Amino acid sequence: MSKQLRLDVAQLTDVGRKRPHNEDNMAYVIPRDSQVMTKKGALFIVADGMGGHAAGEVASEIAVDTVSNVYYQDENDDIPLSLMNAIKRANALIHQRAAENMMRSGMGTTCVAAVLRGGVAYIANVGDSRAYMVRHGQAKQISQDHSWVEEQVRAGLLTKDQARSHAQRNVITRALGTQAEVEVDVFTEILEDGDTFVLCSDGLSGPVGEEDLRAIVNQYLPQESVYHLVERANENGGPDNITAIVVRVQEAGDDIPETLQHPVHAGGSSHVADESTAVLVVCLLPR
């Protein structure tokens, strides 16, 4: 009998200690229908809005709502393509909403999303919200920040420590909604039992270093991990909204496609079905 993917999930968001409003948003979808779970997997998404109150939170809400629904309506079996198409649809909707309302001109949002299906994790990102994986006690960042400082780090012009305190550390080079088209990066990881994924906004990854994140995730189950991660970010100043989803793989599935690309860049349109058979679990933040 084939192994089925089993997950333990928790999510939490907090306004932090410096911001008057929470412009982050998060969602996860775990299909009730086992056939949908087998075909499309479980989806997790964090979005960090920008553009000010009533703009940034609108952009992040559109992102999580659109990606969560469009991904499951897409009948394509190509998981990376479906995920990218859902994110590109969110980008188009945010861009359109911004064009229709002068008060929301320039609004946008980061987006990091993960689909766990069978024995594989597919992680997509735009902006500087991150995905980490903790395996065998060691943490690594899977996503690559689309930010000015991280591009300098990758070019060898800044160190990681310099980037953390650099004056330009909040400048992102790619976001949803700011342009009519967007490029989405997708990465793949073969799952192992016990793997833990952390999706978070920069309000967490900024104040909380990778070593602290690793220690917390290794010590606690997801429900406790999210609280300790948010608590640590606030202890370290809480300069921004803080959002985290922690997903522990209790048992990895054994369905792994023969060919996996890393990273994947693709485009194109998706076929959208009339109905979604997924159960949607969305946390919409208070205004």
Q: Which residue has the tokens 């909380």?
A: 208
Q: Is 274 exposed, middle or buried (0-12, 13-18, 19+ CB in 10 A)?
A: exposed
In a domain, 281, yes or no: no
Q: How far apart are CA 278 and CA 38, in angstroms?
A: 12
283 has pLDDT over 50: no
In a domain, 213, yes or no: yes
In a domain, 285, yes or no: no
In a domain, 120, yes or no: yes
**What backbone torsions phi and psi does residue 272 show, to the nearest 5 degrees?**
-110, 125
- Per the rule left: phi > 0, alpha: psi between -120 and 50, beta: everything else, 247 is beta
- Per the rule left: phi > 0, alpha: psi between -120 and 50, beta: everything else, 268 is left
pLDDT tens by residue, 140-158: 999 999 988 888 888 888 8
Average pLDDT over residues 114-132: 97
- The pLDDT score that the predictor gives to residue 1 is 63
273 has pLDDT over 60: no
When divided into structural domains, the chain yields a total of 1
Greater pLDDT, 265 or 38: 38
* Domain assignment of residue 68, given as a range: 6-256
CATH of the domain at 126: 3.60.40.10
